[in-house]
Amino acid sequence: MFPLDEKYIETPLEAGGYTVWHRLERPNKAQQIERDSRIKSEEITHGERIETIYDDDNANIQTWNDCARAIKGYDLGNGASANDWVEISEEIRALMPSEHKMKAAAALFYARGVIDKASQNGGGFRLLGATEISIKLELGNEDAPQYTHVLRRPSESEWGAYHRSALKIYQVRGAKLPRWISNPNLTAAITLYDALLTRLEGVTLAGVEYESDRREEFLKAVDPSHKRAVVRAFADYWSADLAN
């Protein structure tokens, strides 16, 4: 069972031959939207060649600065045991290598949705009788937590609203070369997820498993980045492309 109200994530890193740990508080929706705004995602056209630039380093460093609460495994030069958790001070915040900050913060947002096709049969995209889509969310390697989100089919208006606003793309005016900047719209993903969720499986809130009459409470407790990962997996499944 995955506890939705788990406040902290503890992430191990390998550094200098040692295992060090970072305890970070889960960022809220506003903090995650702020992180998105700091991510640089840009395409620059050079004739027939398109250069893609993606940089989330500064975004993750700022997330660490905002959300890191304690560390262990570090020698702080004060005689304290490296096996004990030490609260983050301004001195530690200033001295922590940026690479450590980036890797520990990135772990907060690792989530991969996998469509459960076990209930489908006939060997094709199930059109009739398919009222629910189950998506298993994996939060790390095979030993990491995972839980399942069951969504209903979206209406045309719900899907259209999400599809039109999922990604914001801006052209940079006055640039010497054609340039486009894109930003994912976390709010659009959350809106679609909140509308489609039927139930959660494999989770607890305050020690209690999912209950339909407490749907709103459970919805509020789901990490916004988890909602986005589920919606992205659903969108990949629900969308269509021209076959080669």
CA gap 101, 68 in Å, rounded: 9
CA gap 120, 133 in Å, rounded: 10
Query: Among the listed ranges 27-31, 129-133, 135-139, 166-170, which one has the minimum average pLDDT value?
Result: 166-170
**E strand or H helix at 215, and its extent?**
helix 215-221
Which single residue is written with the structure tokens 């080669």?
244
**E strand or H helix at 65, and its extent?**
helix 57-67
pLDDT of residue 155: 94
The average pLDDT across 53-60 equals 88
Number of continuous H segments (helices) and E segments (strands) in the chain: 8, 15
CA gap 181, 179 in Å, rounded: 7
63 half-sphere exposure, CB direction, 13 A CA radius: 34
Which single residue is written with the structure tokens 């027939």?
48
Task: Kindly list the domain boundaries of the chain, sorted by start residue.
Answer: 1-40+56-109, 110-244
Looking at the predicted structure, is the pLDDT value of residue 119 above 60? no
Looking at the predicted structure, is the pLDDT value of residue 172 above 70? no
Strand pairing report for 146-152 and 132-138 = antiparallel
CA gap 188, 180 in Å, rounded: 20
Structure tokens at 199: 């139930």
Looking at the predicted structure, is the pLDDT value of residue 167 above 90? no
Q: Which carries the bigger pLDDT value, residue 175 or residue 45?
A: 45
The average pLDDT across 135-148 equals 86
Residue-wise pLDDT for 70-110, tens only, equals 999 999 988 888 899 999 999 999 999 999 999 999 999 99
Q: What values do phi and psi take at 241, rounded to 5?
A: -130, 160
Instruction: List, in order, residues 6 or more apart from 99 with CB less than 8 Å away.
Output: none
Which single residue is written with the structure tokens 């994912």?
184
